């Protein structure tokens, strides 16, 4: 990397950090940090993934999770309490879809000349909303931040930690010290669970969510839930 490009990189990184301190929901700033600082970690993850039976199958077959995770009717028909059934509720309640998330993040982190690498990026990206259901972190701005702490613990990523620190501090200013406890708990839980990117999610969709969580070592986010309960009660009392 030349000096000019190096200076440009850190100028953009510094600007993105300042923007995230002001607004933790600034998705563009978050991706600036992720794209500049995550390349080594993501490449390492890809190298691990492609050497697994699942990764080899996914990359050779260019498999995608989009159609599987967006088939709401099929997911709804799965047993009550199953991962797929619970995820279908998430899709309906949030009005989101895997295809929509894929569109919002299209091209982020991809390498035009590397089809295998791009297949992995899409596989990892497209399971994002499903991980909300698996981990118990809601699809709201703070839930996103805590999930990022979980993912950083799950597989260390400099880009994620660079995004998450300013976001966490900004949320703590509004929500109190409990934000740090919930964040550390998420990081620790991510560290103790199986690597989420390497899980064959389609075969687990019809299994009970609790069994799936136990089988991959995902613990209940007790500090996060306690904090959210307190915050909602305080908001209700303030009315």
- At residue 59, the pLDDT reads 95
Q: What is the mean pLDDT of the segment spanning 209-233?
A: 97
d(CA 43, CA 24): 26
d(CA 221, CA 109): 29
CB atoms within 10 A of CB 100: 15
Residue-wise pLDDT tens digits, 137-184:
998 889 989 999 999 999 988 778 877 888 899 899 999 999 999 999
Output the DSSP codes for 173-235.
HHH-THHHHHHHHHHHHHHHS--GGGS-GGGGTTSBHHHHHHHHTPPP-HHHHHHHHHHHHHH
Tell me which residue range forms the domain holding 124. 3-237
Number of structural domains, the chain? 1
What's the CA angle centered on 71, arms 66 and 72, to 5 degrees? Answer: 125
Strand-pairing partners, residue 208, are: 82
The candidate with the shortest Cα–Cα distance to 192, out of 219, 220, 159, 213, is: 219
Three-state SS letters, 131-151:
HHHHHCCCCCHHHHHHHHHHH
d(CA 184, CA 80): 32
Residue-wise pLDDT tens digits, 46-100:
999 999 999 999 999 999 999 899 899 999 999 999 999 999 998 888 877 666 5
């Amino acid at each position: 990397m030349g000096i000019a490009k190096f200076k440009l990189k850190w100028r953009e990184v510094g600007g993105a950090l300042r923007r995230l301190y002001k607004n933790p929901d600034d998705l563009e700033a978050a991706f600036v940090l992720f794209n500049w600082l995550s390349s080594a970690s993501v490449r390492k993850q890809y190298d691990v993934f492609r050497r697994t039976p699942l990764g080899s199958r996914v990359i050779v077959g260019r498999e995608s999770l989009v159609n599987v995770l967006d088939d709401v009717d099929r997911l709804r028909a799965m047993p009550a309490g199953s991962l797929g059934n619970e995820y279908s509720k998430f899709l309906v309640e949030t009005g989101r879809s895997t295809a929509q998330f894929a569109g919002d993040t299209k091209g982020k982190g991809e390498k035009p000349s590397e089809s295998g690498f791009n297949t992995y990026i899409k596989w990892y990206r497209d399971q994002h909303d499903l991980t909300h259901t698996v981990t118990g972190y809601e699809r709201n701005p703070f839930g996103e931040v805590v999930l990022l702490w979980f993912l950083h613990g799950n597989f260390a990523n400099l880009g994620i930690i660079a995004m998450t620190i300013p976001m966490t501090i900004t949320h703590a200013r509004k929500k109190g010290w409990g934000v740090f406890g919930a964040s550390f708990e998420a990081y620790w839980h991510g560290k103790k669970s199986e690597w989420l990117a390497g899980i064959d999610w389609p075969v687990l969709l019809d299994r009970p969510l609790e069994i799936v969580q136990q089988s991959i070592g995902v613990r209940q986010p007790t500090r996060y839930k306690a904090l959210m309960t307190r915050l909602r009660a305080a908001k209700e009392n303030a009315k």
